[in-house]
Amino acid sequence: MHHALTILALVSVCGCGSWTNWSGTIHCQPRRVERPRSERELRAMVAAGSHVRVVGAGHSFNALACSNDVMLDLRELNHVLEIDAARGLVKVEAGITLHDLDEELAKRGLALGTEPTIDKITAAGAISTASHGTGFGHGAFSEEVTALDVIDAAGNKVIIDGGERLAAARIGLGALGVIYAITFRVERAFNFEIDERVVGEDEAFAQLDRLPLENEHADLFWLVTEHKVFLRTYKRTTAPVHLEHPAADWLLEHVVRTWVAHFGLAVASKIPGVTPLLNKAEPSTFRRRVEVDRSDRILHRFPGHQRVVSMEYVIPVEHTRAALRAIADSLTATGFYPNVPPYVRFVGGGGDGLLSPMRGRKSCAVEVLSYPGFAGWERFFRDLEPRFRALGGRPHWGKLFYENPHSLYEPAAWKGFASLHREIDPRGKFDNALMRWLLH
């Protein structure tokens, strides 16, 4: 249904809403935005609201968090509640960012075993959308969750710590109550050695089958128009921290790849002839580096932090090459000229999140991106989506998608999700337009 597609994209030109996501592409006008500062305040706000949606850092690319009634911003609920090093557990409030959680754990010689790429997102937002890192040893970040403290529609606290209820609640899409606290597995702190280099696309693509098997972690950025790949492989090490040129790295990351690149993309979106020049220059911003750093700093080591639009599909790993061909075919079909490299990660799927896109299989997560000012990106995304679905792909819940993914999951997964939904929220207090479309 065309109106459902509009709901999912929900890209507004108004800009007059009282809430907008991080990239400024999603807007909504809730009746009010509330910011609880304690569990007691949160429970009272939930009980009093007629329709409630929750937002963390606003880093999603679709309308999942949007509401025309009450939005709860949980970023004031950002404390570490308990650390049990002996049992390897940490309990945190939902609104803590991954960056702050990493720092608190590091002080105690602890670390998360895996994390999503971006550290500015909140813990609850990361698990609720099945955000993930890379490596066959882990699936979605939600797999690290052992228990959740959830506020139901009546404002009561419900502890979910096992069985199918936890399998559903780990990736709740904001519809299975309001998460107040999360208990994660943690382990002793460790370092990663990362090897970064630019190689020709033929050389990189010849390694696609081996990369996730021979390396604990591997990901790549495809510099499509230049026929090159920025390739990263990394593994645990007992070696001490070793950074070759930390000051130069900081300037490259935070000045060149962020502010200079942002200015260049803004200009290129208005003057199309600039884009090929930017793409040609991009490989020179990457250099060969073999460095060692704290695990979380390597996991969050992401080249550039542009405000972009994004669509990501999680595809069975045996179709990785076909997914890359699909991108090339779609670029040809739509005439869209890429301005941000597609990003490929390899992910496991051994966890039990019912609505995990990587559930039950090893996958490649293929993300396409664009600076939002460029004409034609949505046409490209829409053309590419059915190609990804034909390969068995499932969309990342926090990014753009246009076709309903309901049929991409086993009926039993939706049954388990619906069962907990009826228990936590019998009257649909936590639903919004997007959730109603997904659930029915």
- Domains, the chain: 2-73 (3.30.43.10), 80-188+410-439 (3.30.465.10), 191-395 (3.40.462.10)
Give pLDDT, residue 22.
Answer: 86
* pTM of the model as a whole: 0.94
Q: What share of the chain is helix, strand, coil (3-state, %, to 5)?
A: 35, 25, 40
CA–CA–CA angle 18, 24, 27 (5° rounding): 40
User: In the prediction, which pLDDT does 335 show?
Assistant: 97
Query: For residues 97 and 111, what is the distance between their CA atoms, to the nearest angstrom?
Result: 14
Residue-level pLDDT at 16: 37
Residue 10: predicted pLDDT: 38
- Residue-level pLDDT at 200: 97
* CB-based contact 61:131 (threshold 8 Å): no
Q: Which residues of the chain have pLDDT under 50?
A: 1-17
Residue 226's pLDDT is 97
d(CA 150, CA 156): 8
For residue 344, the SS3 value is strand
